[in-house]
Amino acid sequence: MTRHLIFFALFLAAPIAVQAFPVTVQSCDRAVTFVALPERAVSNDVNLTEMMLELGLRDRMVGHTGISDARGIDAPLRAALDGLPDLSPQYPGREVLLGAGADFYFAGWNYGLQVGGAITPDTLAPFGIAVYELTESCAHVMEKPKASLGDLYTDIRNLGAIFGVSERAEALIAGWQSELADLSPESHILAEPPRVFVYDSGEDMPFTAGRYAMPTALIEAAGGVNVMEDIGRSWGTVGWEEVIARDPEVILIVDYGEVTAAQKRDFLLSNPAFADLTAVREENFVTLDYVAATPGPRNIGAVGVLARAFAEAAR
């Protein structure tokens, strides 16, 4: 039984636990207090929605938003979402959340929230909609350490506390940590951490993951180092000259959107400017779906994919 089928069974079978309220959690730079269980939750984006489903919270949800790329939704997830309203394929407007009667919005900065935008914790508070912010995204509004798998664990623990399922949250985290421990032999054959470049998109200037984006944590957990880790951003553009100067040994392609992973790979292989890059010369490419490269339950499997790719590149 695959892990996604397991969580599908869990959300159908597991009741919400009884928990004492109020409960206070840290959401970026805010302490947020919940006096009762949210009953009409909305999640934004496929990765955040998967966190809710893994915790068995479907019966507390009135819809989801921001899932615009169907390629990121596998069959078990589509089954789990069956009957749950797709309120908006893009970032929701306030009227979308109000129309759904939402009392809770799980989103992140640049994952359904925008600094200075119409949808923020402050703008939703007067309408009784509490917001919990994705931990990885907190770099947009405060100082934080570089991205780590601890960001995912923090979100699962906080959601567990908010919805009264802390035991389930701890069981998930323990299972993921056990999976990661089983992967460790893959990295033992690496003499040095491979230099990895994350290629998200863009031809004139590449869009990539910096210090605060989840791929940095995934690469590190798999035994590598993100060559753009010193860039003090989450996601952003860099110059190709910076990539060439750092000579990545492996290129991680993020697969989503209109340009396929195969097309991105072909672009890198066909451009003479990249011919001397170690990763291109040796054709050391590895692909992750968007939902695996952003914070969520599929991060654990992504580490395994990367660890195997790094080990293969080292042979």
Residue-wise pLDDT for 35-45, tens only, equals 999 999 999 99
Task: Give the mean pLDDT of 157-183.
Answer: 96
Instruction: Output the CATH code of domain 182-314.
Output: 3.40.50.1980
Single out the residue of 120, 113, 129 nearest to residue 48, CA to CA: 113
Same fold, 3-171 and 182-314: yes
Q: Using 50, 70 and 90 to split pLDDT, how confident is the model at 68?
A: confident
Single out the residue of 108, 181, 114 nearest to residue 147, CA to CA: 108
Domains of the chain by residue range: 3-171, 182-314
Write the pLDDT tens digit of every residue in 100-128: 999 999 999 999 999 999 999 999 999 99
Task: Give the mean pLDDT of 134-159.
Answer: 97
CA distance 291 to 73: 8
Domain covering 3-171: architecture: 3-Layer(aba) Sandwich (3.40)
> Taking the complete model, does pTM exceed 0.75, yes or no?
yes
Beta-carbon contacts of 182 under 8 Å, excluding residues fewer than 6 positions away, are: none
The number of helices, as runs of H, and strands, as runs of E, in the chain is 13, 14
Give the HSE-up count for residue 246: Cα atoms under 13 Å, Cβ half-sphere: 21
Q: What percentage of the chain reaches a pLDDT higher than 90?
A: 82
Question: Is residue 235's pLDDT more than 60?
Answer: yes
